[in-house]
């Protein structure tokens, strides 16, 4: 696959901003990357859970299962952004630019790469902890409600 070299900074920003849709994987590996499609499916399931909460309220048990998929997908994209931003330029060239025209600029780390790293740390932590707290809270509320039913 010849062509332009894959830029590390662009890949990190794509992963941080649109990682839940798998755009970073499509940029680096093409549209036939099945893991990129898994990101999009997980995000779609999570958004379906958000829609269910808006339609049926927070007592909808299916949404408790679906919403963490969105948080996990966002967190996975942010983790990919962190890995991309911290990757050594030689490793980056070997991973994604081995069969392309060599470009020193494509694999270098600059301030935009560091900004993507910081943003991914912030967003990934919020998404992961928020979805984890949502799922665990509703699970324990469900358990308490079932225990009340049994005790009566």
Q: Considering the entire predicted model, what is its pTM?
A: 0.84
Q: How far apart are CA 62 and CA 73, in angstroms?
A: 18
Closest to 26 (Cα-Cα) out of 16, 8, 15: 15
**pLDDT bracket for residue 125 (50, 70, 90):** very high
Q: How far apart are CA 74 and CA 13, in angstroms?
A: 13
Reported as a single tens digit per residue, the pLDDT across 80-91 is: 999 999 999 888
Q: Is 97 helix (H, G, I), strand (E, B) or coil?
A: coil
């Amino acid at each position: 696959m010849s062509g332009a070299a894959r830029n590390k900074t662009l890949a990190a920003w794509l992963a941080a901003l649109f990682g839940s849709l798998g755009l970073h994987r499509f940029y680096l590996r093409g549209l036939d990357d099945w893991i990129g499609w898994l990101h999009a499916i997980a995000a779609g399931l999570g958004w379906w859970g958000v829609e269910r909460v808006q339609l049926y309220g927070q007592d909808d048990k299916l949404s408790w299962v679906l919403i963490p998929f969105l948080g996990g997908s966002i967190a996975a994209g942010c983790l990919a952004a962190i890995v991309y931003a911290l990757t050594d330029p030689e490793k980056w060239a070997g991973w994604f630019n081995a069969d392309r025209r060599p470009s020193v600029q494509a694999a270098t780390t600059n301030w935009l790469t560091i900004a993507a790293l910081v943003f991914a740390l912030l967003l990934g932590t919020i998404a992961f902890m928020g979805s984890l707290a949502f799922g665990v809270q509703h699970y324990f509320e469900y358990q308490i409600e079932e225990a009340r039913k049994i005790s009566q």
